[in-house]
Chain A
Amino acid sequence: MIDKYPKIVDGKSVYDLDSQKYLKMWQGPQHPGVTGNMSLELIISGDQVVACNTHVGYLHRGFEKLMERRRYINCFPIVCRICVPEPDTNEYLFAAATEELLGITVPEKAQWLRTLDLELSRLASFLMWIGGQSGSFGSGTVAQWAIANRDFVLDLFEELSGARIYHMYMIPGGVRGNLPEGWIEHTEKVLNNTEKLLDEIYIVLFNNAVFKSRAVGMGVITPEMIDQYGIVGPNARASGAARDIRKDNPYLVYDHLDFKIETETAGDTYARTLVRWKEMHQSISLIRQILKLMPKLGPIYTKLPNVLHMKVPAGETYVKAESTRGEYGYYIVADGTEFPRKITVRGPSYSHGMALLEDLVVGGNIADTHGLMLSLHTYPPEIER
């Protein structure tokens, strides 16, 4: 006779794997449905998930420790590697925090260029995500379209900064380069194509019976859970919380731009997908506005003191920005030497991917697990810096 519910010993459920009622299954670290290297240790009963334990540690590169031993300018090529698909937020935040501690102001044109770069990287990151999200529900076509189109956005980055993935564009003090000749026309072409693609994605993905029947009602985040779990970004906006750092605590030139916070109320995977789809349109509109309003002339860089002997005054600061996954922040403690005392990176995937995911997948279907994980838009590289 098998008990219906697991035994509880010391306040924890003990799953008797020999009873043939429960099965332990690992999803990841090498799994096509998991972005980056992260594994979920699932206990399943039939095809229902009854317990989940997340395991990270396959990607740990010790960046926070590395940065304690390096000068500020040596940290600059490291920070972009913390989050692979969206490195520009890291570059901006590190630069902004260092500038704040040094008391440097950035020229106006550099601020516009930084905003432009951030929005482009948001678009590239969303395109990569929608590829994974639709792929996890069996719609590989959308995945191919989106990843192919992301490559054209990467071409723009290559023209602008010389690199496709890790741009290293926003150096403390300003940006590394001005817009190249013909870049604006090229961008307009890519944006037009992306808009066409987004319309096609809407037809193919959001009206798809399979996607609709699986995504609606899956992994619901209720408004009460937002504060309990520290949910930010599109995940919170899909549950009705109109919170966006670009509006609430405007940084760079976001207060000059015209956009509204996109929200949904259902809080399920479908709503989260829809919010991000709308935000891709928003990014395209913001890029067009920036290119129109940006000053044509002006300096793009403030001269720093000799960066190899640059001492940053003692102090601490926290700067944050809205990445595609929500609040991304850098907390830098300086102790008056050439080296940072501590740099902490606050990635939104930290709370989404570990605390929230462990509770959301329980009770769901095993086949929906990676679709759910992708709908939270977690990137394991920023969990373990």
Chain B
Amino acid sequence: MKTIYEDLNKRFTMSGYKQQRDDLAFVTVDKDQLVNAITYLKDYHKFTHLAFVTAVDWLEENEFQITYLLHNYELKVDLGLKVRLDRDNPTMDTIHHLWKQARVYQRELHEMFGIDFPGSPGVNDPMILESWEGPPPMRRDFDTKKYSEETYDHRERQHIEPEDHLRKQLYPED
């Protein structure tokens, strides 16, 4: 793992290498070089499996973090690549040409966090939230309670006990 990181560090701007376990490490990559770094890892270091792509909202620092987790089936190690984006204008390069499932992850991130991936097929199609008009719901500043109170009407419901109802139906004179 360390040797792979040293090789990567020669070619790309990287920081914050952390060995979490023997078979897992995380590293932060510069935003512009991420796709190049992933392509290099896939082609030369046999990191051929993309486990997931996810985003973490660091609201206090006004940044999004996107984590790409790659797996190498020969060395049996996982490597997490992290990239930091500006939260006000989150745009990231797409990797759908490397793995076919990447477009689904990118579509979800676009919907849930509002991170744009220009060029990713179907990235603007709604995945889960059809006809949603509010802000992206997985952001930390999205207040679920406030949104539901503003958007949906409160419905007064009449509570009927089944036992009372049946009694009234069967024995109306009681």
Q: Which A residues form the contact surface with B (CB < 8 A)?
A: 56-57, 60, 62, 64-65, 68, 100, 227-230, 232, 243, 248-249, 315-318, 320, 327, 329, 331, 333, 341-342, 344, 346, 350-351, 354-356, 359, 384
Contacts and interface: CB of A to CB of B under 8 A. Distances in A.
B24 A333 contact: no
A243 B73 contact: yes
A186 B101 CA distance: 43
A230 B130 contact: no
B7 interface: no
- Taking each of A64, A354, A359, which has the highest tally of chain B beta carbons within 10 Å of its own beta carbon? A354
Contact of B130 (A57, A320, A359): A57
Given A230-B99, A354-B101, A318 B56 contact: no
B158 interface: no
Contacts of B4: none
Contact of A228 (B21, B24, B99, B130): B99
B116 interface: no
Contacts of B35: none
Contact of B54 (A57, A68, A344): A344
Contacts of A249: 23, 76
B137 A355 contact: no
A211 B45 CA distance: 42
Contacts of A351: 101, 104
Nearest to A232: B49
A346 B140 contact: no
Contacts of B73: 243, 248
A315 to B, nearest CB: 8
Nearest to A327: B51
A248 B75 CA distance: 9
A128 to B, nearest CB: 25
Given A248-B76, A316-B26, A68 B128 contact: no
Contact of A350 (B67, B104, B129): B104
Nearest to B105: A350
Interface in B77-104: 78, 80, 99-101, 103-104
Nearest to A350: B104
B49 A346 contact: no
Contact of B101 (A62, A316, A355): A355
A354 B99 contact: no
A303 to B, nearest CB: 24
A5 to B, nearest CB: 20
A355 B76 contact: no
Contact of B20 (A65, A317, A342): A317
A273 B118 CA distance: 39
B129 to A, nearest CB: 7
Contact of B78 (A230, A318, A359): A318
Contacts of A331: 52, 54, 67, 69, 80
A52 B101 CA distance: 15
A354 B76 CA distance: 26
B48 interface: yes
B52 A346 contact: yes
Nearest to B111: A57
